[in-house]
Structure 1
Amino acid sequence: MTSAERDPEFENLLIYLRQNRGFDFTGYKRSTVMRRVSKRMQSLTIENFEGYLDYLEVYPEEFNYLFNIILINVTTFFRDSSAWEYIGEQILPNLIKNKKTSEQIRIWSAGCASGEEAYTLAMLTGEILGVEEFRQRVKIYATDVDEDALKHARLALYSAKDIQTVPDELRQKYFEIVGNHYVFRQDLRRSVIFGRHDLLQDAPISRLDLLVSRNTLMYFNSETQGRILARFHFALNDNGYLFLGKAEMLLMHSNLFIPLELKNRIFTKVSSVNIRDRLLIMANSVDEESNSRFSRQFRLREMGFDTAPIAQIVIDLSGILVMMNEQARTLFALSPKDLARPFQDLELSYRPIELRSLIERAYTERRPLNLTNVERYLSNTEMQYLDVRITPLEETSTNFLGVSIAFHDVTRYIKLQEALQRSQQELETTNEELQSTNEELETTNEELQSTNEELETTNEELQSTNEELETMNEELQSTNEELQTINNELSDRTAELNRTNIFLISILRSLQTGIVVIDSSFNISIWNYMVEDLWGLRIDEVLGQSIFSLDIGLPVEQLRSPIRDSLAAKKQFQEMILDATNRRGRQIKCYLAITPLLGIEMQGAVLMMADVEKVKSMISTQEMEERQQQD
């Protein structure tokens, strides 16, 4: 045992990480983990592991930094290109050749980090099958324990530097450019399924054709490597392949895998006979000395489970059917071939009741779920009733192994209960019918008597209704006359208003001076054509705008104070001359007169403005004309 394993403070830290965050690093190489943790402690100037554990308790966000240090996510596209070339030219074509055209191809990338390895597999498989067949047949399961890395992998967003190792032809075919990044094709991304998976605690993905775990095993100690490899052996099909990293060997596990191409670390599985043997191999990897005792106990438990009087199945955490007893096989027509199949692929998962969502609910609520009187149609006329109990199987308080589902046939009890209920209902119905017959006879006489009274009452009501209708007709005629009068008045007022508006517009057009009318909020209400000619803005551009927001040649800010005085009735008349620039860009002297708007409810001000030179010119012209007339 190394010094790292003897350090009680370091062991307490590992136990704390497992209990509080679900990361079990006890199977990793102690020297590697200790070195990575010590590196993080140095950046925080913490001297011992006990102090770092206290720091984690006070600052929970520190877990993220620690895991990023320990879980070294080093990966690239086509890393070790010669090995990937062998996979693309030899392994994948041979794997596909041995498959029927309708069979699914299942690949697992364990320890996928940020997803480059999984997308490399997708590109190589897509090149062989073609894009359409790839979407229909291929499932690539990519897993890691690092949630941050998985989030990045799901986005499939990479920089130009990240995809330097991708050949140009594949880069153009499988990546789309978004901004400064490259994104893997979305239609193919649906076939790559990312999820969190702990190789030590979670059940392996099964029925695999290719398992890729590159440079992941090297971080674990020898005992832990044996346990993981046993799970890999269980996960692979008999003709499946294992692809490891350049730094990994299987010299101590020749009973599980044999090398196919040792240079590139590609291995084939040593086939076992059946599922029971595969489970025993997993047990052997834990403790070789207890193999015989485990085998006997396993067979005893298997026989006890198989002969149970109630139909029962067991599904592991990854959704694979791992056990079913004789009652379940008979009840639901299951066969041994259905073992190790995804439960979602079986009819039982959704008929007679949708079980997949209930399984998730049992995991979430951490308690068994009971469903009673579930209906199952055996034929058009025959119905079966089942009581279903879904029980999550917990290995520890924080870890699930799977779920057990029991089906109890209660059809006989339901049918007996229904027969008793029908008999009771028939007796009650007979009694009610007798009582109602007597009541109906008594009621009939009363109804005959009351009918005559109702007829008389109805006649009176009809007469009263006729009178009300005549009254309403007169009221409607009166109302119609009132509405006609109001309509005539409105027409007269509209005509008068139109005349007034035309008169006002004529006055504004006749004036040879620019007129601007603003309200109390400085917003423009009137802007005549002379102002349009002076500043180059049409009325539809300024109407409702603040005069101080206009970008014209007139220094409108100098008018703010005079306009306020006018609105406040402090001054009745103000005039001034300002330097300005007209719409033609010519410097002018602008005459302005400001007066309050008087005699109406709306408060405001009237601004009169004119080009001084133009006015003088007009006056001179008029004087000359008057002199000519006098002469």
Structure 2
Amino acid sequence: MTTPATDEQADFEALLDYLRESRGFDFSGYKRTSLVRRIRHRMDQVGVGDYHEYLDLLQVDAAEFTALFNTILINVTSFFRDPAAWRVLRTDVIPALLTERSPGDPLRAWSTGCSSGQEAYTLAILLAEELGLDNYLKQVKIYATDIDDDALAQARQASYPEAELEGVPADLRAKYFELRDGRYVFHPELRRTVIFGRNDLVQDAPISRVDLLLCRNTLMYFNAETQQRMLNRFHFALVPRGVLFLGRAEMLLGRTRLFEPIDLKQRIFRRVANRRVAAGRTTPAPTEHERPTERLHEYAFAASPIAQLVIGTDDTLVMQSDQAAALFGLTRRDLGRPIRELEVSYQPLALRKYLDQVFAERKPVRISEVEFGRPGGVVHWFEVHLNPVTEGTDLLGVSVVFHDVSATRGLRMEIDRANRQLESTNAELQSTNEELETTNEELQSTVEELETTNEELQSTNEELETMNEELQSANDELQIINEALRERSTELNDANDFLESVLTAFTAGVIVVDLEMLVLAWNAAAQELWGVRSDEAEGRHLLNLDVGLPADVLRPLIRDALNEPEKASEARLEAVNRRGRAITVRLICSALRGPDGRQRGALLTMEPMDSQ
């Protein structure tokens, strides 16, 4: 017999399953007590008593999803939040980060849980201050991600009321923001270096080769197991000595094998180089008694007379023997670099595909007869062994050993050459005897073959005449087909020209979308209005275009037209045109039907209204 508590738990799990299957949000990694409290809070706001009833409400009211996610995903952010931490980042961390790179090297940053964009734009300001605007535009890319689509849409606008800029110093506000219609708009050139996108830290793959990763006050919402999995992904995402910037409420207790503190008070950490930790698995730090042994192992490996490399599971070079370094031109600075960036990944052989095979199958691979030409005409021959390095069931990396078999191969080649010469001589003697015996027989058969050949030539001539007739007939058919195709192409070109003329004739902006809201047509007036060419717009999702139309208004208008095709929707929108000016647009959205009556999408006409 089930208890009421058991039934309530089952209803709660069913609610989470529905959110994951219908909207793609997986909250299983969130702290359960916090998740229950926030969902309960939303249920109290709408007057729903149990999870089953609330699930029914979500199934009939699509707008309730937005309210629920806004309750669960607390989008609390601001410019220069925790000023002391940002000061340390500006004065100590960023200058040190740039010092470790050559002038002009690209710099990649990732702001996770970016909400409405203030954190990503704060980082852009600090980097621009340190590098200068010109160098910043050439070198920096900032990736800002969140799972809240509405917050991302707001972030892409880069427009904020004055109250949200209280934390921005006056000189930086004047330098990096422009006042438009009572709102502050972020510097347009710097805005293009910040790339917003949806990313679920629990499920989606991390962005790679990141120099600076911001994850402020996000980890604390997840349970310990999910936090560890996310930190492993952050470790993979960061380059060697990359920087991790957390929030004040977060720590990395027990995870010193992954990161070391730069400023523990301000929660700023550096990625520990050459550490290989399997996902979801924590390795304890070595004791004082273990470190000398590890050092001895490292130096013994380096002194090995065999050329050997060790590649980690993240495809970076972990260890190298001195012999391998001398042979393939490697240095200690190459440790921690991705193997694909090193010449040894494709010389003396394409190492990448064999590494993938070992990682996938966890079985050794041996490649023989590998030739390696060196300067001065010296040629080495290797037998290459790739072996998985495991600890229990965990794969730690791959050992690549280059066995130099040049000497034995030369001796073997000489022996093989001598054997082949002896075998060839014997074969030639035997062949000569057989040829003498068969010559007489061949002369007799030659006369018979000549007679047969004459008959075959006659038959061949007749076949060629028949083939010529068939080819002539086929050529006539192809000419008829080509003529029909030319006529069809002309008709299609005329139809396309006519449709283009119709769209161009409209003085109002015209946009045609399909049932998935992918842009099918975009006329010249729409280009003039929003500054996006038709070849840039067509084929893309309308709401993903970086134009001045508010997505939160467009979405319901198009949905209404698609759900009620008999009725056209009309609205007046406050938008921003291609010149960055606020305008009022009269928008009419109607359903688009095909000749068969089936619904094909929606037609939007937009016309700026005169200012009153």
TM norm structure 2: 0.47
TM-score (norm 1): 0.45
